[in-house]
Structure 1
Amino acid sequence: MIPECPRSSDSRHRSRFQQSPAAEPSHGRSGLLSQIQTTVNKEPFTDHYTIIPGKELGRGKFAVVRKCVEKCTGHEYAAKFMRKRRKGQDCRMEIIHEIAVLELATASTRVVNLHQVYEMASEMVLVLEFAAGGEIFNQCVSDREEEAFSEEDVKRLMRQILEGVSFLHQNNVVHLDLKPQNILLTSSSPLGDIKIVDFGLSRMVSSHQELREIMGTPEYVAPEILNYEPISTATDMWSIGVLAYVMLTGISPFLGEDKQETFLNISQLNVSYHEEELQQLDQAALSFMQMLLRKHPQDRATAEQCLKHPWLGSSELQETQTVEETLPVKDQEASSSTSSPEPPSSTTTAEEERDDGPVTEELIVMAAYTLGQCRQSSTSNTEKEVLAAEQKAISKRFKFEEPFSALQEVPGEFIY
């Protein structure tokens, strides 16, 4: 997902949340890298690549992804065309940061590979590894038994996701937009391996400098994002907990009737572990999610601790063999304890975005767009009403209307 660029002289006004002035070390903005090693080619992109006509792989507000073929080799790639100016602001440095993160992650087979970079007058093109299986979202919500993930599938893929995230965290990178649409598969049948994509919101974190951002996809953002508290690697771990829940059940655990209710569910930790789909799972799977869906970041398990959790270690251990080539796993104590939902703490208000002028808002969340068909809940309305009344837990199926319709300039889901 591509965030809007902040204005150099910020004309946005916030009644509650105000971004701290950007510290300016070697890079222009806090959390952004500014140096890349990849050669930026100035020749016309189409001199070297043929764009495959037909359906785009993905589209967002400021970028589009198309399938292409390298003329000299015949190899297929995904070309990510990114506008350098967004709403009149120069955002080339945000693109440079994304390139730098992809370079940093070259050693991990769980992150999409960057092949080449091209630059034209108005856009830059990132030539990326082509993941033929598409995003895992399709399997998460499939109604067909042969397409939907089994628990064993989820365990294998979750190990791979954690391997990639562990690598990123060891290199002080937080992704900040982990969700099914940003996890791709090398093949869908047979089920391939995962590739983490879309580092448009990623940031570098450090122990000596706090980083606060209001960004992410509403259903996956951690409580500290909503409270404008410091971001850390634990912010990604919350998203992985939500991701595990979605992959196992097809249910978005915190989704409310509107974005305000979604944010309230997150801030109050309103999540149900009593869905019918969860009752069929290994109890260790519930323990795994509960060690991640904790309100306080310091209480969440790390990626390396998750990889040692009994749920992931119970079968298919051969999947961990490839990670040893790329991930220097540190010795840490595994934590598999669970926690109970905490009482309500705070509520937040979402933004109102306009295309032409200053914006007054309390919370900015860069929205991504959920597309596709979903399974219908097998739990009756009466049962859900009783559950909500007794446990104050809100757990709903995905919705497909855009919760931030005012932000949507170009419809579609951006997957690279």
Structure 2
Amino acid sequence: FTEQQQQQQRRRRGCKRAQAAQRDPRAGVCKVLRPLPLEDNDNDEAEVRVEKGFSFLKASSALSLAPRYSLLREVGRGSYGVVYEAVARRSGARVAVKKLRCDAPEKVELALAEFWALASLEKRHENVVQLEECVLERNGLAQKMSHGNKRSKQYLRLVETSLKGERILGYPEEPCYLWFVMEFCEGGDLNQYILSRRPDPKTNRSFMKQLTSAVAFLHKNNIVHRDLKPDNILISQKSGSPVIKVADFGLSKVCAGLGCIEQEGEDQVNKNINVNKFWLSSACGSDFYMAPEVWEGHYTAKADIFALGIIIWAMIERITFIDAESKRELLGTYVRQGSEIVPVGEALLENPKMVLSIPQKARSPMSDGIRRLLQDMLAVNPQDRPDAFQLELRMDQVTCAA
């Protein structure tokens, strides 16, 4: 293990003790926050000054511009940013606004990874969260970010900060922020949605198909998520029925420059990027969803398939653990070793011949088709796992059979 992996392991070892799952629905009303006064512009000459809750052009024009979004409440907070529910002033549409402070190279790297992944998608997918716009704010000035904008000095400085690994954006009294404006998902995350409702096989089947469709779309677009977990899977209910939205691309990797595999159809030739040929070495993700090879620091996009297998298995059988830091009940499967619970990926790394007990519960609603598919998704050897495109086809088959 590298020093970073050893630190991760030590942190995890302190929170392995399994606890009885306690339902703890989120409660409380957040206070109304001041508006977010940002405007979108494409070059340095048309920056917008943020001042006293209003937006003003930096140029000599005295025209006052109303804020585009009003922040309503905080809905999430992590190590690197805060997420707010907001409303677009003109349309009245609700959006999610993520604020990331870029005051350290590691934070800049996470912010740019998310921006590059979402901005690289030329098409939308129903099951991937949609980025409406990204705004860079520094020293009271706001500027719309565009992918690969070489004319923006601020954008180039961010990239340089990430590459050099040192802070060059200014002093602490001149903070730099990235604001991500995305579609709002009122159903919360997968943990909240599943654990606050009675078991529903129809919803489970729908979610399994949506999740595999989202991952296939990402891999087709050369994106490895690397942090698939229930926390990063949001639920939208705008259409009346729940719709999965894969989110949080801070650890994602855009695998550019790969070759294509041509697959001949009846009337056309489809080109699929072979993302599974791209090897990654940064051991990252969340312990309970990490594949064995990720713990070793040498893996491909097949790691996303393993994480998805953990999520689907836990969702079907409602297997949960209590996270020691947040005290939240989380969906996730694990292996018991005495009084401790160990992530499946780590347990398989320590004992590759171990046979997983799928299903885990005696009276499980899991069908034989899904059981066999999960066994393949959670194979120790990533070559034995289906890729995202094979998984999508097989998932259609097993869910229809069920």
TM-score computed with the length of structure 2 as normaliser: 0.62
User: Which residue, out of 206, 212, 220, partners 1:162?
Assistant: 212
Match of 2:356 in 1: 271
The residue number in structure 2 matching 1:297 is 382
Counterpart residue type for residue 112 of structure 2: I
2:370 pairs with 1:311:
no
Cα distance in 1 for residues equivalent to 2:188 and 2:96: 11
| Larger of the two Rg values belongs to structure | 2
Tell me the matched-pair count.
276
1:123 pairs, out of 169, 173, 177, with: 177
The correspondence of residues 9-408 of structure 1 with structure 2, limited to 5 A, is 14=3, 39=42, 42-44=48-50, 47-53=67-73, 56-86=74-104, 89=105, 91-105=107-121, 106-121=123-138, 122-142=176-196, 147-187=197-237, 190-205=240-255, 206=258, 210-229=279-298, 231-251=299-319, 252-254=332-334, 256=336, 264-267=346-349, 268=351, 269=354, 271-276=356-361, 279-309=364-394, 310-314=397-401
Letter matched to residue 347 of structure 2: N
The residue type paired with residue 254 of structure 1 is Y
Higher strand fraction (1 or 2): 2
**1:96 Cα deviation after fit:** 2.6
Deviations 1:125-173 (A, max 9, x none): 000100111111123334xxxx134222111111111111101111221
The answer on whether the counterparts of 1:307 and 1:313 sit within 8 Å (CA) in structure 2 is: no
SS in 2 for 1:288: helix
Q: 1:312 to 1:259 in 2, by over 3 A?
A: same
SS, match of residue 377 in structure 2: coil
Q: Which moved more, 1:188-197 or 1:63-72?
A: 188-197
Structure with greater contact order relative to length (CA < 8 Å, sep ≥ 6): 1
Give SS of 1:308's match.
helix
1:50 maps to amino acid: S
In 2, are the aligned partners of 1:185 and 1:191 still within 8 Å (CA)?
no
> Counterparts of 2:232 and 2:111 in 1: how far apart (Å)?
17
Separation in 2 of the partners of 1:109 and 1:274?
A: 30
Structure 2: segments with no counterpart, 5+ residues: 7-39, 54-66, 139-175, 259-274, 320-331
- Distance change >3 Å, CA 200–CA 280, structure 1 → 2: same
Q: Deviations over 1:163-198 (max 9, x none)?
A: 111011112211011111111111299541111100
Cα displacement string for residues 211-259 of structure 1 (whole angstroms, at most 9, x for unaligned residues): 2011111110000011222x21211000111011011011132255657
Question: Is the CA contact (8 Å cut-off) linking 1:136 and 1:180 kept in structure 2?
Answer: yes
- After superposing the two structures, state which structure 1 stretch, 185-194 or 288-297, moved more: 185-194
CA RMSD between the two structures: 3.0
Tell me the amino acid that sits aligned with residue 158 of structure 1: M
The alignment partner of 1:279 has SS state of: coil
3-state SS of paired residue (1:79): strand
CA 42–299 in structure 1, closer or farther in 2 if over 3 Å, else same: farther
Change (3 A) 1:304 1:313: farther
The residue identity in structure 2 corresponding to 1:111 is V
